[in-house]
Amino acid sequence: MNDFLGYVTRSTGIVATLLMLASLAWGLLFSARETGTRLRPAWWLDLHKGLGGLAMVFTGIHLVTAFADTDLGISLATVFVPGAAGYESTAFTWGVLAFYGLAIVVFSSWPKLLFRTRRTWRAVHLLSVPATVLACVHAYQLGSDAGTPAFRVVLVLAVAAVMYPLAFRVINVVAKTRQAPTRS
């Protein structure tokens, strides 16, 4: 049973990481929508939310199975307190912080309650970027498969794929700030 839980921890961890990366990409592409491209905004935003929610669900399964796997001896403190792990403490800490980041991003957006100003919401929502980076570091350091070429290739390719939306968005922001003075 523990073995099985370990496998589920690994697979859901990988899927959660990929979903975070995908959600990041879709969010960035959506936000850069004013570039006059033929993107379908509603579709990008809706899929972005779907991917974000899924990432949360898979991270949840990941945590529950990691906790339930008694081979790992993970306590509640390990799951919720950064630096509380007795071993591989840094790798766990990145995971815990990524988890908090993800949870804040998702639950500050999903029930549209917490932020009434767009600016604060967006500032909080941009936590998604460091959170995703931390998730990748955590996966890389802690994963049983981190050493395997397949895992590395997938992770590197996924991260590389997100560079396009990121650049797209950054260019978009730069273009907007250049325009700003003439507008106001």
**Sites of contact with ligand HEM (CB under 6 A):** 6, 9-10, 13-14, 16-17, 20, 23-24, 27-28, 30-31, 45, 48-49, 52-53, 55, 59, 62-63, 66, 72, 74, 78-79, 92, 95-96, 98-99, 102, 105-106, 109-110, 122, 125, 128-129, 132, 135, 138-139, 142-145, 151, 169
Does residue number 90 form part of the binding site for other proteins (CB under 8 A)? no
Query: How does 150-183 read in b/e, with b if 16+ C-beta sit within 10 Å?
Result: ebeeebeebeeebeebbebbeebeeeeeeeeeee
Does residue number 83 form part of the binding site for other proteins (CB under 8 A)? no
DSSP-derived letter for residue 111 is S
Binding mask 19-38 for other proteins (x = CB under 8 A): x--x----------------
Token digits for 52? 């974000």
* Contact between 24 and 48 (Cβ < 8 Å): no
